Amino acid sequence: MKTRIIILFLVGIVSSSCVQIKNDMKTNFDDAFAHTVYFWFKNPDNADDRAKFEASLRKFLDNSQYAKTQYIGKPPKAVRDVVDDSFTYALIVSFESAEDQAAYQTEPPHLVFIEECKDLWEKVIVYDSQGI
């Protein structure tokens, strides 16, 4: 009986911790303005290109005064027809406002990133959205 009580107690603690982590993740994402960027590389399998891009992108994001939350991703292998996994990298950045996103476009760390990496990609698509 004591063992069951202890197990139930521990399950309750773990469950409530997971809910808190999920809630923290949701509240940490600034949903006022989201900037989603997809990059298609000229040579997507080139390890040196990927390393250069990742290093430059992290340097840029670490020094941006406007980007609040940041996500860098690579495509998973799609298992559904509606999933586009043709891109090389995805970047999702949130901002407090559309004005901050506009200022981000001309801030020096962003411009340095573009200059360092523009020769790596053949296509870039941006989707901006405001929270509802």
Q: For residue 58, how many C-alpha atoms fall within 13 Å in the half-sphere facing its CB?
A: 7
Q: Is the per-residue pLDDT at 78 higher than 90?
A: no
Amino acid letter, residue 105: Q
Give yes or no: residues 11 and 57 share one domain: no
Q: Is the pTM of this model over 0.95?
A: no
- Domain interval for residue 13: 1-30
Length of the chain measured in residues = 132
Asked if residue 46 has pLDDT above 60, the reply is: yes
56 and 119 co-located in one domain: yes
Instruction: State CA 32 to chain mean position distance.
Output: 15
Domain count for the chain: 2
The mean per-residue pLDDT over the stretch 57-84 comes to 91
Q: Which residue has the tokens 């390890």?
A: 47
Cα–Cα separations (whole angstroms), residue 30 to 40, 67, 80, 97: 26, 10, 29, 9
58 & 72 share domain: yes
